[in-house]
Structure 1
């Protein structure tokens, strides 16, 4: 999905793309394909930014993903909705942290710490 097609996609299509990117990130992490992961990171940022740009901040469409069985998808969804639903996002990040599954548990703990100490301010 290119930026142009991202702008034309429905909210549901963007959510589906978010999930597929998260699953692909999960795979890229476990085969240590940094280049692929970085590309996917940029793609996810495009999807997240498009949802945020839409009237009413459509990142709320990611809220159901806070219970996604894949830790990468759950963590990225939580990071994406911290500004609009901090309590639910925090609960999801805590569940990822408490899983103990690396690297997601460490990433979730880092985000929780950054929010707690003010190093990251959700927007």
Structure 2
């Protein structure tokens, strides 16, 4: 299902918007602004849907973000690209989970990996 707000954007533009939304989410670690976090999450879902509507190769472009310098960008990219790039996404999640604790993204990665053990297709969306 394509989101008309994003249908005219190039993949590079979509990845840029995705990154900006993740960075806005990252900032909410300090502010606890759940409204901003949720709004940006909806943007991520819309971008994922747009990429998905363009086919697996377009969605795989999220793998370019798995090496981003920001942990929030990496974890969100890993979760959204997982259905089409499992080995790369799993490696990213494992690398994040191995980081120092306490850290929101480290915790999220550990919990995501645990959930994948219990329900292997939980990220297949």
The alignment's TM-score, normalised by the length of structure 1, stands at 0.90
Q: Which moved more, 1:111-120 or 1:35-44?
A: 111-120
**Aligned residue for 1:20?**
20
1:54 aligned to 2:85?
Answer: no
Q: Deviations over 1:86-118 (max 9, x none)?
A: 111111011111113521111111111111111
- Larger relative contact order (CA 8 Å, sep ≥ 6): 2
Q: Which moved more, 1:111-120 or 1:42-51?
A: 111-120
Could you tell me which runs of 5 or more consecutive residues in structure 2 were left unpaired when the two chains were aligned: none
Could you tell me which runs of 5 or more consecutive residues in structure 1 were left unpaired when the two chains were aligned: none
Runs of 4+ in 1 over 3 A off after TM superposition: none
CA RMSD of aligned residues (A): 1.5
Equivalent residue pairs, number: 121
Paired residues of 1:29 and 1:37 also in contact (CA < 8 A): no
Paired residues of 2:93 and 2:113 also in contact (CA < 8 A): yes
Q: How far is 1:121 from its partner?
A: 4.7
1:35 aligned to 2:35?
Answer: yes
Take 2:62 and 2:22, find their aligned partners in 1: how far apart are those partners?
Answer: 12
**Aligned residue for 1:79?**
79
**Aligned residue for 1:122?**
124
The alignment's TM-score, normalised by the length of structure 2, stands at 0.89
Take 1:9 and 1:100, find their aligned partners in 2: how far apart are those partners?
Answer: 37
**Aligned residue for 1:107?**
108
Q: How far is 1:27 from its partner?
A: 0.5
